[in-house]
Amino acid sequence: MARSRARTRVVYRKAAPRRRSSGSRGGFGGIMGTVKQNVLPGLVAGIAAPVANQYIPGWGTPLAYGGVGYLMKNPTLMTLSGVALGQNVAPMLTNLLPGGNTNNQGAFL
Element (H, E) at 1: none
Q: How far is CA 25 from CA 1, 16, 29, 38, 109, in A?
A: 67, 22, 5, 19, 50
Dist. CA 32–CA 16, nearest whole Å: 30
55-95 pLDDT, tens digit per residue, is: 988 899 999 999 999 998 988 899 989 998 988 888 877 77
Q: How confident is the model at residue 54 (pLDDT cuts 50, 70, 90)?
A: very high
Q: Is the pLDDT of residue 51 over 90?
A: yes
For 29-45, what is the mean pLDDT?
Answer: 77
Question: What does the domain layout of the chain look like in residue ranges?
Answer: 54-84
Dist. CA 109–CA 97, nearest whole Å: 14
Dist. CA 86–CA 104, nearest whole Å: 11
Q: Is the pLDDT of residue 104 over 60?
A: no
Q: How confident is the model at residue 31 (pLDDT cuts 50, 70, 90)?
A: low
